[in-house]
Structure 1
Amino acid sequence: MGGISGIPMPTLRILDSLSDPGNAARRNEDTAGGNTSCAFVVDGATGLGGKPVLDTTSDAAWLAAFAARVFETEIATTTPIDDTVRDLNARVRRRIIEAAGDETVEAWALPTASFQLVRMEGRELAVYGLGDCRLFLVDADGKAFETNGDYSKAESEGARRAVAQAGGLAAWRSLAEEPVVREALRRSRARHNQPGGVVWTLGSAPEAAAHLATWRLSPALPTRGLLCTDGFSALVDKYGRYDSAGLIQTAFERGLANLMSELRRIEHEEDPDGQRYPRFKVSDDATALLFEIAP
């Protein structure tokens, strides 16, 4: 690609991606993808006991797949991402209104999703997101960068209380099924996408577009990066097996499938009851996308 004075512009190339359901009996509510302009991951939020509105099995899976289609088909090099999110959420809102008819859909039952998206904009790497998906990045000088670390700390505290309330994961594949925990999660979810709130997502609130988290980076090239949902970032955030640089290096050297196997081994063999690593599910859907930026 041409650049100023004939200097090539940096390009982003997707090297590998992998998505694995946390429970083989349920739909995978994560997606990942990209086009010639961007790369992204999307994490649909599992429903909290309400009747599905848009899909017979999972509104969250429907939303994640819809968002992926919109990102892949409608985001070009200069597309304003806030406009894309605003329009996407407005379309979802219309679908919900049409599908629900006269039925009231509780705020905690509305489909939502987190996302993280990267795009080269000239010589800058622009990063956009809503919710708790993560980006890990290491540039040619060894400088590391990551997003959304605070989300994992807040969730870990909630999971610790939930595990104590339920007595562990042995009786509950997902603690969201335990009545007291479920009600607490519903109260928390109902506060999302509300005026004055701190959590905004993809879903049915067009105004979430005004709350995009945005970073603009100028990393030394070549740069390596990994986008992932919180189910995969647990290797760093919950289980402490890697830091940013170690996770990316291992992904390049051993592959995402190897890391996924390690993740599931921790969850199913080392700590299936959630006592050592408190969490809301034995395993969450986990998705990762590996990319590099070269001159």
Structure 2
Amino acid sequence: MRILWMTHSHAPRVGLRSQYRHAPTRHGCVMANIRIIDSISDPGSTSRPNEDAAGGNASCAFVIDGATGLGGKNIVGLHGSDAAWLAQFAQSAFEQMVRPGRPMAEIVQEFNGRVANVVHEAAHSLPIEPWNLPVAGFQMVRVEDDALVTHGLGDCRLFLLDDNGMAFETSAMRQAAAAEREGARMALAHTGGFSAYQALAEEPAVRDELRRRRAAYNTSSSGIWTLGIEPEAGKHLASEPLHPALPACGLLCSDGFAALVDQYQRYNAGEFVAAARETGLSTLLDELRRIERVEDPDGMKYPRFKMSDDATAVLFEIVE
């Protein structure tokens, strides 16, 4: 997540195996199935763990973006990252818990309760700074009864292109990219760029401001709700019905991959899905990294807090 501060991994590019996701339900009067075509997950840096994840089951597909830590002590840990642990924990839990008849709000509430138990047990009753709690965002497409629905928390993205050529896009935090860009512009002006800090959150003044913002997550004062230790987040899901003409094709992305649209403006929503379908996710990933590491390595053309963020995407079809 950008505003939620998500990151990256030691792992190489990873892809889910292409497979059919059969859903015993109807879209209108027609049986609808989610078919995962391809997926990819690439760390933003080889020096940091990948804090993204992706998955699916018989009725859904999703991406998860863990928020990069802000310099505090690791609580639970996975390769030194609470965010990586949370992303993988959420992947496993969603694949098990997202079942026909279970409301998504209830699933998030139960999952966050589980996270709270693990985190507090791992902390051994020691106080935890609010900004140091693990948090993550997600975006999901799900078949529910006779409908297709997308659910999300945070700044992951959905792009959808239907059989009539109509494009749809959404995020639980619609203004996240613009807010991130402005914050990064100010931070870059303060630090002088990536020459001193590969991630601007390492600079003390920038880190303090990010900690202040992170501490307000999962409270009514911020309005930003996430996967994490707060069950109340289940009541704040951003959920929207989907009504594409089938067959439809879509992309679920962490904000690091969606930057090709939201930050670098190389595609609009429809073009992005079409390019993924026609040239493949690996080609888009290569284009993304070329922009970040060759065209704009100092972040001056495209202000951002890291030279490269973790980038994860799932390409899927919704078929009859």
State the TM-score bracket (shorter-chain normalisation).
over 0.9
More helix by share: 1
Query: For the Cα contact (< 8 Å) 2:251–2:273, is it kept in 1?
Result: yes
- 1:125-140 matches, within 5 Å, as 125-140=148-163
Q: CA deviation at 1:197?
A: 2.6
Match of 2:107 among 70, 78, 84: 84
Q: CA deviation at 1:121?
A: 2.1
Structure 1 residue 161 corresponds to structure 2 residue 149 = no
Q: CA deviation at 1:94?
A: 1.1
* Letter paired with 1:231: G
Q: CA deviation at 1:195?
A: 2.8
Query: For the Cα contact (< 8 Å) 1:77–1:119, is it kept in 2?
Result: no
Equivalent residues, number: 293
The 10-residue stretch of structure 1 (116-125 or 63-72) with the greater mean CA deviation from structure 2: 116-125
Match of 2:237 among 212, 216, 220: 212
Match of 1:189 among 183, 189, 214: 214
C-alpha distance 3-166 of structure 1, shift in aligned 2 (>3 A) = closer
* Letter paired with 1:249: A
Q: CA deviation at 1:186?
A: 0.5
Match of 2:93 among 70, 93, 106: 70
Partners of 2:318 and 2:146 in 1: how far apart? 10
* Letter paired with 1:257: S
Partners of 2:68 and 2:265 in 1: how far apart? 25
Structure 1 residue 285 corresponds to structure 2 residue 310 = yes
1:273 aligns to what SS in structure 2? Answer: coil
Query: For the Cα contact (< 8 Å) 1:10–1:293, is it kept in 2?
Result: yes
Partners of 2:287 and 2:25 in 1: how far apart? 42
Partners of 1:228 and 1:123 in 2: how far apart? 25
Query: For the Cα contact (< 8 Å) 1:2–1:8, is it kept in 2?
Result: no
Query: For the Cα contact (< 8 Å) 1:21–1:286, is it kept in 2?
Result: yes
Structure 1 residue 28 corresponds to structure 2 residue 53 = no
Partners of 2:145 and 2:88 in 1: how far apart? 29
Partners of 1:188 and 1:168 in 2: how far apart? 22
Q: Structure 1: which 4+ aligned runs deviate by more than 3 Å?
A: 1-4
Question: Once superposed, what is the RMSD of the aligned Cα atoms?
Answer: 1.3
TM-score (norm 2): 0.89
Partners of 1:92 and 1:131 in 2: how far apart? 17
Give the % identical residues.
55
Partners of 2:154 and 2:250 in 1: how far apart? 19
Partners of 1:3 and 1:125 in 2: how far apart? 10
Match of 1:93 among 83, 93, 116: 116
Partner residue of 1:145? 168
The higher relative CO (CA closer than 8 Å, separation ≥ 6) is in 1
Partners of 1:64 and 1:3 in 2: how far apart? 28
Query: For the Cα contact (< 8 Å) 2:25–2:144, is it kept in 1?
Result: no
TM-score (norm 1): 0.96
Q: CA deviation at 1:102?
A: 3.5
Structure 1 residue 116 corresponds to structure 2 residue 110 = no
Q: Deviations over 1:20-62 (max 9, x none)?
A: 0001111100000101110000000000010000015000000
Query: For the Cα contact (< 8 Å) 2:25–2:146, is it kept in 1?
Result: no
* Letter paired with 2:248: T
Partner residue of 1:247? 272
Partners of 1:69 and 1:3 in 2: how far apart? 23
Partners of 1:270 and 1:3 in 2: how far apart? 46
Partners of 1:208 and 1:119 in 2: how far apart? 19
Q: Unaligned stretches of 5+ in structure 2?
A: 1-22
1:43 aligns to what SS in structure 2? Answer: strand
1:142 aligns to what SS in structure 2? Answer: coil
* Letter paired with 1:234: A
- 1:266-277 matches, within 5 Å, as 266-277=291-302
Partner residue of 2:287? 262
2:317 aligns to what SS in structure 1? Answer: strand
Partners of 2:123 and 2:267 in 1: how far apart? 44
Partners of 2:249 and 2:151 in 1: how far apart? 17
Query: For the Cα contact (< 8 Å) 2:25–2:143, is it kept in 1?
Result: no
Q: CA deviation at 1:2?
A: 7.0
Q: CA deviation at 1:123?
A: 4.2
* Letter paired with 2:291: I
C-alpha distance 2-39 of structure 1, shift in aligned 2 (>3 A) = closer
Partners of 2:24 and 2:175 in 1: how far apart? 39
1:272 aligns to what SS in structure 2? Answer: coil
* Letter paired with 1:162: A
C-alpha distance 98-215 of structure 1, shift in aligned 2 (>3 A) = same
